[in-house]
Structures are given as C-alpha cells and as structure tokens.
Amino acid sequence: MPDLEQALGEIAAEMAEAPDRGKVATYIPQLGKVNVKKFGIAVVTNDGRTLTAGDADDPFSIQSISKVFTLTLALGEKGDALWKRVGREPSGNPFNSIVQLEHEHGIPRNPFINAGAIVVSDILLAGHRPRETIGEILRFIRFLADDDAIVIDDAVAASEQATGFRNFALANYMKSFGNLTHAPELALGVYFHHCAIAITCRQLANAGRFLAHGGRHPATGHSVVSAERARRISALMLTCGHYDGSGDFAFRVGIPGKSGVGGGILGIVPGIASLAVWSPGLNANGNSQLGSLALEKLARIMGWSIFSPR
Amino acid sequence: MPDLEQALGEIAAEMAEAPDRGKVATYIPQLGKVNVKKFGIAVVTNDGRTLTAGDADDPFSIQSISKVFTLTLALGEKGDALWKRVGREPSGNPFNSIVQLEHEHGIPRNPFINAGAIVVSDILLAGHRPRETIGEILRFIRFLADDDAIVIDDAVAASEQATGFRNFALANYMKSFGNLTHAPELALGVYFHHCAIAITCRQLANAGRFLAHGGRHPATGHSVVSAERARRISALMLTCGHYDGSGDFAFRVGIPGKSGVGGGILGIVPGIASLAVWSPGLNANGNSQLGSLALEKLARIMGWSIFSPR
Amino acid sequence: MPDLEQALGEIAAEMAEAPDRGKVATYIPQLGKVNVKKFGIAVVTNDGRTLTAGDADDPFSIQSISKVFTLTLALGEKGDALWKRVGREPSGNPFNSIVQLEHEHGIPRNPFINAGAIVVSDILLAGHRPRETIGEILRFIRFLADDDAIVIDDAVAASEQATGFRNFALANYMKSFGNLTHAPELALGVYFHHCAIAITCRQLANAGRFLAHGGRHPATGHSVVSAERARRISALMLTCGHYDGSGDFAFRVGIPGKSGVGGGILGIVPGIASLAVWSPGLNANGNSQLGSLALEKLARIMGWSIFSPR
Amino acid sequence: MPDLEQALGEIAAEMAEAPDRGKVATYIPQLGKVNVKKFGIAVVTNDGRTLTAGDADDPFSIQSISKVFTLTLALGEKGDALWKRVGREPSGNPFNSIVQLEHEHGIPRNPFINAGAIVVSDILLAGHRPRETIGEILRFIRFLADDDAIVIDDAVAASEQATGFRNFALANYMKSFGNLTHAPELALGVYFHHCAIAITCRQLANAGRFLAHGGRHPATGHSVVSAERARRISALMLTCGHYDGSGDFAFRVGIPGKSGVGGGILGIVPGIASLAVWSPGLNANGNSQLGSLALEKLARIMGWSIFSPR
C-alpha cells in the first residue's frame, strides 16, 4: 500500500512549482484578488487520520461545492419529490447556460449547475426567511465538519449579489416557468450566501466525511442520510460535479467530486477517505487546474478510482 | 453475502410478469419484429461462475453495446490520439442528435453516441477494406467472449443500411468538417455491421469480462488493455453509456453500463462480475425498460454499486 | 380604384362573425380580461382622410407596437451607433426567446423582439430617470398622433412589473454581457410602461402617419426622421415585425407591420396610408388572428402590397 | 429622374477600385478559381431597355439564385401544397445550418436555405428521372431569359457532388423525418445541377423580368405565375433571400433579392426593373460583398426601395 503522507507531500511540492496554474475567476470581483500561487490539500481517512499539505488551513470561497450540502439538506426535507423540479442528467453545457432551460421548460438538468442549485435554495426556503435558511445551511455544514469556525464571507456574498446578473437571469427565467415558489431575489439571497462560505481544505474534507462513510457522521455514528442516498449523491457528483468537464474528471480521476469556481474540489473515495484540494486557477471548464491534476495523481498513486477492481 | 442465484431467479420471475415493458424500437424494421415478452440475464463472476436466468441464450441485436468493443479496439490501435477526434463528455442530447455537432464543429461528444462511434469505425478502417475491418471487430468480440458462434445478422445490417438516413446525415456532416478520413458510406458500412452482431446475454457477459478483470482476459491472463484504460472505458460507460439517461442510470444502478436499442445492457462491477441483461422494450431515453430495472434491483441486492463503501 | 370605405365595412362585418378568433393573451393578467369579440380598424390616408370601422375608438394595450416609436426616438438620439448593441435580422425564434442571446453574447437580433426593445429602453434612459424617459416616450407618441388623450394604463404596467419574469431574465442576461448600461429594473421600468400605453386604432393609425409620409409629420410638414430612416424602419417592420411569423405576414399581407400581444397591428403603406387594426385573440405566433386576416384582405382588395408593380 | 445609365457607369467604376472585395467561396473547389476582380451589372427595365456595365456578359455560377426559379416551377406544379413541406420564415441561421431541422422535425424554414431547396428539388422530381427534371429546370430558365445559350457547368456540378457532404447530411436528415420522397442522392442530383447553371448578369436580369412584371413574361405577355404569386415570391426574397443577412439587405437596399455563393444577386423592383449583379467576393454572411454594395447605391440613387412612398 502506497504511503499517503509521502504522496501528499510529493504532490504538494510538484504543484508548488507547476508553471501552468490556470486563471483565477474574475467574474466575481472578490474572487479575483486571490493569489494564484496557493495550493492546499487535505485527506481525512475513514480510519480517522487527517493529513494535509500546502495551504490546507487557508480559507477559500466554497462556491459551488456548497451545492453538495444544500442538496443533501433539501433531500432530507423534501425527499425524492425534489426530483420533480430538478433533473439528474449531465447538462452538456457550461455551468451558467440558459439554453437548456428554454428547451426543457424551466427544469434544470441537475442540482449542481447554477439553475438547479437555485431551485434547491428555493426548496430550502419553504416557510422561512432567507436569513433563517442561510443559518440552517451554515449550521449543517458546521455540524458535518465538526467545526463552528466556518463562516460566510459577507463581502463575497455582497459581490455576487451586486454582479450576479446571470444568476438573476436564471432565477427569473425559472420563475417564469413556475419552477420557483419564492421571489427570485429571495432564492438568490440564499444561493449567494451559501456559495460565499469561506472554508479551508481541512474543514471541507471533514464536511465530506459522511459521504465516504455511507451516509453516517463518523464522529457520532448517527446517520446524516441513508446509505442509498449517499451513493446517489456520489453518483451525481461523478456525472455532474464538474459541469461540462464531468466526463473528463471521471475519465482521468475516477472518483466522485464537486468543484467550485473558488478553486476548491471535494472528492469522495467511498469507504476510504474524504478529500479536499484547493488552487484558485481554473481551467477552460471552470474547474481548478491544479486541483484536478493533484486529485488525478493522488487517485492513481493510491489506486482510489472507483472503477478499479475491488 | 446475498445469494446471487436466488436474486437472479427472483428478478427474472418478477420481470416475466412486469406489465409496463416499454416499446420495442421500430425505426430499424428488423428490430420491430422482436417479442416484447423476452427477458434474459447472465452474470459471469470474477471467480469464474456463470449464472443465467430467463432467455439468456436467445440472440438479440447488440446495437450500441458494440461501441464498447470498437472503442477498445481503436484505442489499442490508435492510442489516446483518438481523443482528438472524439470527446468524452456526456452529450446532454439524444443518441442521434446532430445539433451538438454543428456547435462543436464536427467533433462528437463521446464515442458512445452514434456520431462518435462512426468516427471510431472510420479510425478502425485505416488501411483496410470495410469487409476486413468488420471481420476484425467480429473476431475481437469472439475472442473476448471465447465463443466463435457469434455472428453478424446480415438482415439487420441491410435494414440499417437501407433506412439509416439519420446516421448517413451524421456521417456526411462530420465528413464536411473533415472528421472522417474515408467516404461516409465506408465508415457506415463498418458501423452498421458491428451494430448488427447477434449475441446472447451469456456471450455478452463473457465479452465484458476483461473490464471486470482490470483489462485482462480471464481465460488466458493476458492483457487486453491496461488497467488504467479498463478503468477509463468503464468511466465513459458510467457517464455516457445510456445516452441522455446516463445520469439516471448512474443514480439508480450505480455501475458502468452500456445499452443498445436492441434492448441489451452490458454492466460491469469492477473486480466482481460482468453482467448482461436483455429485454427489447425501451424507455423514453431509448434504454431497455426492464433491463435497467433488473440491474437496479440486482445491484441493490448484491451491494454492487461502485459508490458503496469498499 | 376600389372603394376603401366599402372595403373596411365589409371586412369589419366579416370579422364580427368570424368563428375562430384566436386566444387572448393571459400571461399578463390584465390583458386576459379583454373581450375576444372586439374588432376595430382605422385607416388614415396620405391625402388626409380617416376611415374607421368596428371598435376603432376603444383603447387597447399597445404592447410591442410601441417598439416602433421607441426605436424611432432612440435612433434620433443615438443615431446608427444604436446598431452596435442591437442587430437587425429576423430572429427565427419566439418573441421572448433567450437561446439566441446566449449564442450571440447578449446582442439581441433586432429591436422588435423583447430583448432588443429593452436595450432600446436602456438607450433612451441615458442621463434620465425612468419617469422622465417614460414621459418623453409618451409625449412623442402623443405628438405623432396629434392626440394628448393617449395615456399609460398603470394597472397593465404594474401587472407586467409583477409578473414579467421572462423579461427580467432577458434584461439580467444582457446585463451580464454588459449590453445594458443601467440597472435591469430601470430599463425594464421604461419598457413595461411604454408597452402599457392604452391606444385606439384611430390614435395608432395617426401615430404611424410619419412612416407613410417618408418621415414627415403630415400636420406640420416637419421631418420626424429622414426619408431614408423611415424606409429602414419600415424594412425592419417587414422582416421582424411579427416575431416568428414575420415571413408569413410579408408573404400574405405584403406591407410593413408591427404587432403586439394586446391584439393590435400597425401597418404602413408607404406613400398611401397608415393603418391600425385590433382584435385581441392571438394566433400561434402571438399575432392578432383577425387583425392579420383583416390586413391581408384589405391589402389584397386595395392592391396595397409593396411587392406589387408600381 | 436620375439617369440610370450614368448611375451604372459610376457604380461599376467605383466597384472596379474597391479595395475590400470579400472572399471568394472555396468550399466548392471550382468556385475558388474565379477572379475576385470581376464585377458586372445588368438592368432590364419594364419599359424594355437593357443596360449593363462591367463584366455583365461573363458567365458565373448561379448557385442559390436558381432557387427562385425552382420554387416558381414547383409552385406551378404543386401549388400551395408545397408549403406543407417547407416553411416561409427567415431561418435566423446560416444557409447550411442543420440545427433548425432537428428542432422542427425535418421541415426547412424556407425554400431559399439549402434544405428547403432540396425539398423543392424532390418535389420537382415527382415521376421523373433526375436528368429529365434537370432538363425541365434548364428549359424554364432559358424560357424566362429568352436565351438558349444558358447551360449547366458540369465541372461545377461534379465538384459539388464530390464534396457537398453538408448537403448530403441535410438531405439524409430530412429523409429520416420523411420529408423527401425520393432517395437523397436523386434529389441532390437535381439540386447540384440547377445550382451549377452558368449565367451572365444580362441573362439573369432577363430571367427575373417576370417578377418585375407582376408574373407575366414581357416578351409574350403570357402569365408565368399569377400576380399574387409573383408578389409572394418577391416577399420571400425580401425576408429570406440573403440567408442570415436578409434583414440587413432589406434594411440597406430595400428591394427583394436573392444571392448565391457564386457572387451573383438577382434584384427585383416591382413594376420597374429586374437587376443582376455579380462580384465573386463574399461577405461574412456568404453574400456578394460588392454586389450588395452596388445594389444599395443603385437603389438609393434611383429611389427604388419598395419602402419609399409611391
């Protein structure tokens, strides 16, 4: 069995030197200020070890990775009825495409593209004020990560609120088809805030543990979701977790993952480990350039692909 | 550990009674003649057992499942250069859509949609006559299955050749972008013939063993493809193997699979088993209605999802 | 020369009896309350006669017909620089389609689809508050029609403001591409109000006179726009004035026209007359069912097609 | 009244010097050999004068302009039933787009895009062999032009037949929807040949006279089509005659026209003249760069816009 600590160290050293680091997202002004040199990685194994390398304790903007947690929460509240309002197919389009919505009458392809996550936010709003729902999401992620230090970066939320015209377009468009029950700005208020959570690699890897543990919270043993639902959320991460680069990530890395434009990626090796990597430069599909590469190398060294013989 | 033989028997019995069996494909006239009541299933475990139930020894038309084998063969001949001419992303469109080709300049999204498989046929043609390439594909599948009784159904091939106008459109369209090196009718000649292979569930499960065995042919121990390539082909099956229903199949069944409009599905449980199921009625996405359901039940009973903790 | 008065009478009588009257638009709740039995028509000839039949003095909601006047006003202020932000090609899509905007990076196809008219509203805003711009548009239409009784129906404007999610989507979408200079809700405030003008057939035919007179206001002789610009606005009406039914309207009626979902149509016979017709039931393309038919009959009787030999 | 002869001379002189002449089409190899310096223009007035300038007696490839004549012929044979198989709306897409066909189930938007003209060829085939139909079309154009010297350039036809993969794709695609009654290669045989007619500006202007004369052949006075059908064909030319640049041509030139990738344009001024212009360099929309410009200048000088007051 390869040595995980050594592998992480080698990968972090290699990534520190990598010349082609991708481009930091600038469409959210706050994100554009991040140092492209940053690279961090954290692994929490199912047998309880936590290993990190690089800038694993630097907070970064969680962005779309938060969609894994809001989906989990919404499935818990709404159950499979959620799938009447959101599909579960790869979109074949960029993360913020509106074309598919027109052809499919306001039903987003899956909960991990922006439109789908806005519907999930709308579902979580039911009966609450945005502030309450935002609080509930934050508490849920803190609970999963066993870490009350996780906070929302209000400057990022405000930045998205002020410039997220594309998301306003998506929300209003779905509203016009009746697929939002609240006012678009309310669902977006929730959405912008959960995307603005600041989190470190260590915290994120901890928050993902329940998926590596078949749905159970490892610290308490209690079930967060059923084993079947954990599998299904993982399957969605594999087929839809990297937008229009999901097929390539499955092909090269071979584990369920969810990326965000902040440069983070959450990876799950079922039964073995929860991983988080962060490097702010993005590739053409909007996924972390070095983060993807690091996970590819790590999965290969450790033999972690879910497509390997077990 | 659940009893596999008992599970297969129960599933076959349940499927025999299923009232909603989907619709037999009629766009290829020959396929429309098949009895919608048919259902067969075969499992070949990595420890060498073969179990079957129902009509597992009835030949059916392999159709798109053959694309797994032509891709394997073409990767062997051409290596990763193949990926310059075919993508590896889910298409988000029906199997025979031409829209994506226009937007992406003649490069098909993946090798499992029709357009992608036609490019693979074109690659396999290199330097040969169609008859030779067709023979090579057939010999390869016989070799994988250890069964020389597998043949091409010439009536099905002729039927497709006479009525496959959509595929002629796709091939000519890609030719106009320079993404076919041979005349469209030559690449299509290969394509129509490999889709017209008649195969039984038992034969198909045998042909798929190398993917469950990390790329090795279990009878000889020789490598058909490298372990990495076997993983990657499996990953493509998971993300792209069921056309516009791939996400749903990954969500519900959780194993790499490839379907065909003949009603067959090949499933791979890496390290454990190769499976084949057949029932000719199709669901709205063009995948076998009962075949999908049977694999969902079997994977759940046996705990075979690749998203389960290992 | 056929008798115009007799033709109008016959057409109005025929339309009063027409069994298939189309469907009143209901997506703006206020519009859904209009009586589908209504039919009015007014013709103002270049030699100064005004003839009417049916409900020609009933006010109806001008809706998209107002786009002819806002375009005229914006061209006067901005000149041909306007065409950098709006195209002048038929869209080949419904009036509220968002698909084309994604493919063409936020530049609407023409100023008569909703997205294009919202850009025109944004242009008219420059340096003003919405209330001032709305006032300017209303004054311009009153001036063209020589009628200060024309007003905005605030209930319709409020209804659109409350339910026009599709238009909010379009505006935010263009804003995300940088093709709005003001906040989307400001441009939409102007847009919703100019679409909510209540106007009669008589008033509308008067407002259109300048286009039939080569750009001059017939009452004063002063130039509203140059003769070339009047021709060009008319050309846009012909190619783009009826959304995805523009080709059919040109084919059947053969004069420049602009329709609105309130059921009105403005028609121009250059050098001869300005026409307005109103019947609230719409056909499948969102154009007045009986209004189109009435103009087709009138143009045929009078030999008014611009494609006739002169 | 401006002097037509002088106007033509000035325009021809100006065009001879024009630095930006567009790009000669190369996708049909035969067309790529034409000298980009060529420019010719011919006007046949309704009062019987013929005026020419530049290379007005050089033959060029008629290409899509022939679609005006095949549509006229097919309407004569089939009547308005033709419109069940072809629409009459601008496509909003390039001339050889296939996307719209998928969304609209194989019904082309109008008879002037390639797909629509292939359906018209299929209609003209009814009961004949391709050679007979090709002969019929050629005789019809010779009859309209009063000139038996017009011939088909077999090298161009062969060139298109060998390389016209996009058109093969369109034809097979429509066949798959049942919108061709003959084998795709038969309809294409007719299509490629009528597009390969070699014609001069003088001949083309003569062939178009019937449209300027309200449907009558000026030499005999006999009706080629009814006056209404002549208007309607002219309306289609205006809305659809320049592919995705039709709106701009209507806006700038203001007369019905039909362009071809050979660099020719046929223009109709109803009641006044038939015009033909030729310069082989194309603009971004595939229409003659200098031909469009020359017609814009001529129409402005002569006051020929159909949107001018009459």
pLDDT beyond 90 at C99:
no
d(CA A102, CA A97): 10
pLDDT beyond 70 at C96:
no
Which chain D positions have a beta carbon within 8 Å of B173's beta carbon?
98, 165-166, 169
**Contacts for A77 with CB less than 8 Å, ≥ 6 apart:** A123, A124, A126
d(CA D132, CA D130): 5
Whether residue A39 lies inside any domain: the answer is yes
pLDDT beyond 90 at A105:
no
CB–CB of A250 and B235 under 8 A?
Answer: yes
b/e string for A254-264 if b means 16 or more Cβ within 10 A?
bbbbbbbbbbb
At residue B109, the pLDDT reads 93
Structure tokens at D136: 């019929």
**H or E element at residue B10:** helix B4-17
Instruction: Give the pLDDT band (50/70/90) at residue B31.
Output: confident
| Beta-bridge mates of residue B53 | B41
* Average pLDDT rounded to a whole number, residues B86-114: 84
The answer on D93 and D187 residing in a single domain is: yes
Using alpha carbons, list the distances in angstroms from residue C67 to C48, C141, C171, C214. 25, 11, 16, 19
At residue B29, the pLDDT reads 81
Q: What does the DSSP 8-state code read for residue D303?
A: T
CB–CB of C230 and D307 under 8 A?
Answer: yes
pLDDT beyond 90 at A116:
yes
Whether residue A307 lies inside any domain: the answer is no
* Average pLDDT rounded to a whole number, residues A228-249: 96
Average pLDDT score over chain A: 95
A107 touches chain B (CB under 8 A): no
At residue A95, the pLDDT reads 60
The answer on B142 and B104 residing in a single domain is: yes
Instruction: Give the pLDDT band (50/70/90) at residue C29.
Output: confident
Residues 165-194 on C with a CB inside 8 Å of A are: 165-166, 168-173, 175-176, 184
Instruction: Give the pLDDT band (50/70/90) at residue A30.
Output: confident
Instruction: Give the pLDDT band (50/70/90) at residue A127.
Output: confident
Percent above pLDDT 70 for chain C? 98
Q: Are the C-beta atoms of C109 and D245 separated by less than 8 Å?
A: no
Which chains does chain A touch, 3 or more C-beta pairs < 8 A?
B, C
Instruction: Give the pLDDT band (50/70/90) at residue D261.
Output: very high
Instruction: Give the pLDDT band (50/70/90) at residue B94.
Output: low
Q: How many CB atoms lie within 10 A of CB D227?
A: 18
pLDDT beyond 90 at A100:
no
Q: How many CB atoms lie within 10 A of CB D291?
A: 31
The answer on B191 and B68 residing in a single domain is: yes
The answer on D224 and D122 residing in a single domain is: no
Average pLDDT score over chain D: 95
CA dihedral D160, D165, D170, D171 (to 10 degrees): 70
- Mean pLDDT is lowest, of A96-110, A259-273, D38-52, for A96-110
Q: Is the dihedral of CA D98, D104, D109, D114 positive or negative?
A: positive
- Give which of C205, C181, C221, C194 is closest to C257, Cα–Cα: C205
Q: What does the DSSP 8-state code read for residue C32?
A: G
At residue C157, the pLDDT reads 96
The answer on A185 and A110 residing in a single domain is: yes
The answer on D92 and D24 residing in a single domain is: no
B6 touches chain D (CB under 8 A): no
At residue A96, the pLDDT reads 65
Q: Kind of pairing, strands A23-24 and A40-45?
A: unpaired
Whether residue B309 lies inside any domain: the answer is no
Q: Known catalytic residues of D?
A: 64, 67, 191, 243, 261
Structure tokens at A4: 């995980």
Domain count, chain C: 2
At residue C65, the pLDDT reads 98
* Average pLDDT rounded to a whole number, residues C133-141: 98
Interface mutation vs chain A, best among C95, C97, C98, C244, most A CBs within 10 Å: C98
The answer on A159 and A86 residing in a single domain is: yes
At residue B156, the pLDDT reads 95
- Quote ipTM for the complex: 0.95
- Give which of A218, A84, A197 is closest to A146, Cα–Cα: A218
Whether residue C17 lies inside any domain: the answer is yes
d(CA D258, CA C146): 41
pLDDT beyond 80 at C81:
yes
Which chain D positions have a beta carbon within 8 Å of B102's beta carbon?
97-99
Which residue from B97, B102, B176 is facing D97, i.e. has the nearest CB?
B102
Whether residue C308 lies inside any domain: the answer is no
pLDDT beyond 70 at B50:
yes
**Contacts for A15 with CB less than 8 Å, ≥ 6 apart:** A39, A54, A279, A290, A293, A294
Using CB atoms within 10 Å of the CB of residue C17, give its burial: 0 to 12 exposed, 13 to 18 middle, 19+ buried.
exposed
Domain that holds residue B96: 64-197
Which residue from D98, D168, D175 is facing B98, i.e. has the nearest CB?
D98
Percent above pLDDT 70 for chain D? 99
What are the tens digits of pLDDT across the range D184-231? 999 999 999 999 999 999 999 999 999 999 999 999 889 999 999 999
Structure tokens at B271: 């390290």
Whether residue C126 lies inside any domain: the answer is yes
Last residue of a domain, one of C197, C226, C242: C197
Closest Cα in chain A, distance from residue C228 (Å): 37
- Mean pLDDT is lowest, of A63-72, A100-109, B41-50, B141-150, for A100-109
Q: Are the C-beta atoms of D253 and D267 separated by less than 8 Å?
A: yes
Residue reference for tokens 């098949």: B34
Using CB atoms within 10 Å of the CB of residue A119, give its burial: 0 to 12 exposed, 13 to 18 middle, 19+ buried.
buried
CB–CB of D89 and C93 under 8 A?
Answer: no
Instruction: Give the pLDDT band (50/70/90) at residue A2.
Output: confident
DSSP assignment of A257-287 equals EEE-TTSEEEEEETTTEEEEEE--EE-TTSS
Q: What does the DSSP 8-state code read for residue C216?
A: B
Q: How many CB atoms lie within 10 A of CB C84?
A: 10
Instruction: Give the pLDDT band (50/70/90) at residue C145.
Output: very high
What are the tens digits of pLDDT across the range B133-178? 999 999 999 999 999 999 999 999 999 999 899 999 999 999 999 9
pLDDT beyond 80 at C95:
no
Whether residue A310 lies inside any domain: the answer is no
CB–CB of A247 and B87 under 8 A?
Answer: yes
Interface mutation vs chain B, best among A251, A252, A258, most B CBs within 10 Å: A251
The answer on B192 and B69 residing in a single domain is: yes
Average pLDDT score over chain B: 95
Residue reference for tokens 């006075």: D221
pLDDT beyond 80 at C98:
no
Q: Are the C-beta atoms of A204 and A257 separated by less than 8 Å?
A: no
Last residue of a domain, one of C171, C197, C223: C197
The answer on B71 and B190 residing in a single domain is: yes
The answer on D110 and D185 residing in a single domain is: yes
CATH of the domain at B82: 3.40.710.10
pLDDT beyond 80 at D2:
yes
Closest residue of chain C to D100, computed from CA coordinates? C92
Which chain B positions have a beta carbon within 8 Å of D98's beta carbon?
98-99, 101-102, 169, 173
Q: Are the C-beta atoms of C192 and C164 separated by less than 8 Å?
A: yes
Which residue from C239, C246, C309 is facing D271, i.e. has the nearest CB?
C309
What are the tens digits of pLDDT across the range A85-94? 999 999 877 6
Instruction: Give the pLDDT band (50/70/90) at residue B34.
Output: very high
Using alpha carbons, list the distances in angstroms from residue C55 to C18, C148, C286. 15, 20, 21
Last residue of a domain, one of C145, C163, C197: C197
The answer on B97 and B25 residing in a single domain is: no
Closest Cα in chain A, distance from residue B8 (Å): 21
DSSP assignment of A15-62 equals HHH-S---EE--SSGGGGGS-TT--EEEEEETTS-EEEEESTTS-EE-
What are the tens digits of pLDDT across the range B192-235? 999 999 999 999 999 999 999 999 999 988 999 999 999 999 99
At residue A94, the pLDDT reads 65
* Average pLDDT rounded to a whole number, residues D135-164: 96
The answer on D293 and D212 residing in a single domain is: yes
Q: How many CB atoms lie within 10 A of CB C185?
A: 14
Whether residue D309 lies inside any domain: the answer is no
Closest residue of chain A to C99, computed from CA coordinates? A99
